[in-house]
Amino acid sequence: MNMKSQSADTLKNDVEQHLLFTLGRFDKAMDKDVCKALSLAVRDQLMEYWQQQSLKEMRYEKKRVFYLSLEFLLGRSLSNAVLNLDLDEQAREALDALGKVYEEIESEERDAGLGNGGLGRLAACFMDSCAMLKLPVRGYGIRYEYGMFHQSIIEGRQVEQPDHWLMSGHPWEIERQDRTCVVKFYGRAEYFANDAGKTCIRWVDTHDVFAVPYDMPIPGYRNETVNTLRLWKAAATDEFNLKDFNEGDYADAVAQKNLAEQITMVLYPNDASENGKELRLRQQYFLASASLQDVIKDWVYEFGRDFSKFDKFHCFQLNDTHPTLAVAELMRLLVDVYGVEWDEAWAVTSKTMAYTNHTLLPEALERWPVRLLGELLPRLLQIIYEINARFLAEVAHKWPGDVERQRRMSLIEEGHDPHVRMAYLGIVGSFSVNGVAALHSELLTKGLFKDFYQMWPEKFNNKTNGVTPRRWLAHCNKPLKALLNDSIGSKWVTNLNKLDKLTPLADDAAFQQKWLEVKQQNKAQLAHYVEERCGIEFPTEFIFDVQVKRIHEYKRQLLNILHAIHLYDKITRGEADDVEPRCILIGGKAAPGYAIAKLIIKLTNNVASVINSDSRARERLKLAFLPNYNVSAMEVICPGTDLSEQISTAGKEASGTGNMKFMMNGAVTIGTYDGANIEILDAVGEENFFLFGLKVEEIGAYRLAHQPNQIIAADEDLERVMTLLECGHFSMFEKGIFEPLIQSILNPHDPWMVAADFRAYINAQKDAATMYADRSAWAKASILNTAKSGKFSSDRTIAEYAREIWATE
Ligand code: 26Q
């Protein structure tokens, strides 16, 4: 079937049909109805490919991969499907005939914000690349009723509002009642003799919850492939309330449904520190259990209880520790439900699980209280203890008498309140453990997981992250897409290394001119976006200096603000001529319980209002905090950015992926030697990257003698910045509110080393401004950044996962 065969006429007709027959619009359709009708019409065109793919997956021919993740940060689906089906022109024409503008209809769709940030968006990019590479990969996740909260800024502070994204219906999902399964909680493990007289264990007196799957299509790029993302919703089982019901407490019994349905109600909005909430643990087990049951159901239908070849056909990729209960759950299903012997079950499990780590921050490593696990999942806890006992015996065998090592490596952190270390469960239960950038993977084997690396070096590997060039270039940057297609052809969309063909054009004056025109157009779009949301005007001839990401101390938005204050200070002291005109944009959400991060938002807004209302700064400096940063905001932001801020404390950012989106779109990076920045620097060369700051190996030694007071005393600029902060220049009406931030900079134990990197950062910013003043030099660096971004396609990342971990090509 030729996808082009669908004419604009038929598409228009389909939209009208859906408006009337599916949506029941009798009167004039609103934009959001048209958006939904168009989505349904486009979805119709995916169905046959989707059906073929699903039928193909029922046959056991190739190994299939299941990507288990608590987060899939998809953003919008319509524009993505339109691009991948090559329906852009038809959609425009069809809407035109209906008196609508495509861009306006497309932006009616709400983001599917089922994730916090990097890890969730990575899962979405991976799904896109798997479909593009025609790999048999299915995503499993949770259909949260409420996604990532909506952030508004009131009096400079973050205010969270619920994101009821499903409220007006979601045309991209299909409920699959027939694939519902039951997930157990609470109860107890009971010994019994089976028919053959063998002692077995079963999990009884449980509270059961239904898991109902909702499938979303994941279209490949113009390749007749549609994969599946299966998201689970919790629903109450009926027997759950039967007792109350019969005792006459009908209303109470129905209200009990809430308890079950709570499980998939809301996405937890913290993305770095564990919060230890029982509901979160229930979400994790719910996902692991439902997904494994779903996969095993099909296997048993085909092969009965013979699991000897199960590992040949299955691989479960665990997105961080969040779904690692899958290790214990697969053991339970095999041993308790299907009667497989422990050793065989363990061989199957540890040959099918693979674990990806996304963090080096010790506070982010998940640990669950044994007490909580024992209550909620008693049989799972038993299994974890059994896995641990056998594992520690192995350790003892390899290092006889090394009791300290056994203590360190135990899955159980002992103490008065013992905890299960989820990362260790992931490592012990998997055949592959990977980090997400070269430095990160190296640091894992040298630090956090050193003991495990000594035990099983062959398990450890690196898979540097990537982002999908369909969404992050072809879709979000139409002007650049057109220029690229004109100059180097269009093969880059599916083979990003082709961008290297731009390299010879980097010095070409005429091409540079075209390049700058494209950037100018994108900056105008971004300026408009900022103006609408912040009421601040961004002149497009200024350098656009952007930092958008979750707000975290380690990401050092604070350092960025210190630089803004420094520029403001120079301007107000009459050194304005030294300051190249600049627009600084900062955006991102803070975890609702992370007070310091919220204070950083408040500081940004206060500094912004001082700078933006000072007439002396008007010609040179603008600062804006963009509220509610999300996937669709980034689609406007990255094409319009000149300078990409990637300034985390070295060794703290596992990889970063925003850095890659900016680079692809021709932004130059100012960044530390951290995460994937290092690989970006490697690809593009030092002349085209503003590198600064302490390196990981320097920080260790430096930390011991870190004296912020001395650094400040020795640096006039930093001293003035600190004085402005301390004297309340940015907190006129709320004296002292920024004291915690000031203290964090002054603290000799400041883990983020803000004072230590200040001078190097200011100098790098100066270099960036100087280069920007020479537009031709800047254009060249910008072109080369795009040209060398090929490596950062998630197609490359997924090809590596497929070849080196999944063995499915
Ligand atoms: C854990 C327990 C309880 C509640 C929430 C969580 C939780 C949720 C999300 C913990 C961590 C996250 C997300 C982490 C994350 O996004 N990490 C980022 O992953 C990216 C993709 O690999 C990297 O590029 C980033 O460097 C890394 O910070």
Give the model confidence (pLDDT) of 163-199 as tens digits: 999 998 999 999 999 999 999 999 999 999 988 889 9
Tell me the pLDDT band of 2, cut-offs 50, 70 and 90: very low
pLDDT at 271: 84
d(CA 682, CA 697): 18
Which stretches of 535-613 are DSSP H helices? Answer: 557-572, 595-612
What backbone phi and psi angles, to 5 degrees, belong to 633? Answer: -65, -45
d(CA 618, CA 386): 67
Q: pLDDT at residue 470 above 90?
A: yes
Could you list the active site residues? 358, 549-550, 555, 657, 661
What backbone phi and psi angles, to 5 degrees, belong to 275? Answer: -120, -5
Q: Residue of the nearest CA to atom 2 in ligand 1?
A: 274
CA of 359 to the centre of ligand 1 (A): 7
User: What is the mean predicted confidence (pLDDT) over 668-684?
Assistant: 98
| pLDDT single digits (tens) 295-336 | 999 999 999 999 999 999 999 999 999 999 999 999 999 999
Tell me the pLDDT band of 504, cut-offs 50, 70 and 90: very high
CA of 664 to the centre of ligand 1 (A): 23
- The finding on whether 674 has its CB within 6 A of some atom of ligand 1 is no
pTM: 0.97
| Positive or negative torsion for Cα 798, 804, 806, 808 | positive
CA of 188 to the centre of ligand 1 (A): 33
Atom of ligand 1 nearest to the CA of 356: 22
Cα within 13 Å of Cα(100), Cβ side:
25
Residue to substitute in 68, 284, 359, 631 for testing ligand 1 pocket (most ligand atoms within 8 angstroms of CB): 359
pLDDT at 242: 61
- The finding on whether 434 has its CB within 6 A of some atom of ligand 1 is no
- The finding on whether 115 has its CB within 6 A of some atom of ligand 1 is no
d(CA 226, CA 761): 46
Residue to substitute in 68, 71, 271, 440 for testing ligand 1 pocket (most ligand atoms within 8 angstroms of CB): 271
Bridge partner residues of 152 (DSSP): 159
Residue to substitute in 70, 72, 114, 116 for testing ligand 1 pocket (most ligand atoms within 8 angstroms of CB): 116
Q: Residue of the nearest CA to atom 24 in ligand 1?
A: 656
What backbone phi and psi angles, to 5 degrees, belong to 342? Answer: -50, -50
CA of 268 to the centre of ligand 1 (A): 11
Query: Beta-strand (E) ranges in 416-569?
Result: 419-421, 432-435, 460-462, 543-548
d(CA 368, CA 282): 12
Q: How far is CA 169 from CA 109, 110, 172, 681, in A?
A: 11, 10, 9, 44
Q: 793 near 496, Cβ under 8 Å?
A: yes
Mean pLDDT in the chain? 96
d(CA 81, CA 620): 42
- The finding on whether 273 has its CB within 6 A of some atom of ligand 1 is no
- The finding on whether 658 has its CB within 6 A of some atom of ligand 1 is no
Torsion of CA 426, 129, 653, 784, to 10 degrees: 150
Provide the percentage of residues in the chain whose pLDDT is more than 70.
98
CA of 430 to the centre of ligand 1 (A): 20
- The finding on whether 653 has its CB within 6 A of some atom of ligand 1 is yes
User: What is the mean predicted confidence (pLDDT) over 281-299?
Assistant: 98
CA of 495 to the centre of ligand 1 (A): 28
CA of 437 to the centre of ligand 1 (A): 14
Atom of ligand 1 nearest to the CA of 121: 21
First CA to last CA distance, the chain:
25
